[in-house]
């Protein structure tokens, strides 16, 4: 699956010394233009992949252009 990511930013406690074992990871993502149905599939696929990768909850926010 192509994820069409234009940019990805990390913010929140993960960028500070307050990050700990109970912290989630806050990500802000911008996608390249795509159909609405593809957007939803891509968003949820990436959210699942990030949570599996980091083994913790990921808050995935989006930027719209």
* Structure tokens belonging to residue 18: 């307050």
Q: The domain containing residue 45 runs over which residues?
A: 5-63
Q: What is the pTM of this model?
A: 0.86
Whether the Cβ atoms of residue 51 and residue 18 lie closer than 8 Å to each other: no
Contact in structure between 58 and 50 (CB atoms under 8 Å): yes
Q: What is the number of structural domains in the chain?
A: 1
Helix, strand, or coil (residue 25): strand
Which tens digit of pLDDT belongs to each residue from 13-45?
Answer: 999 999 999 999 999 999 999 988 899 999 999
């Amino acid at each position: 699956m192509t994820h069409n990511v234009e940019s990805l930013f990390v913010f929140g406690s993960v960028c500070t010394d307050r990050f700990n074992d109970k912290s989630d990871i806050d990500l802000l993502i911008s996608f390249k233009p795509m159909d609405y149905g593809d957007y939803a599939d891509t968003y949820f696929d990436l959210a699942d992949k990030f949570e599996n990768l980091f083994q913790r909850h990921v808050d995935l926010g989006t930027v719209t252009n």
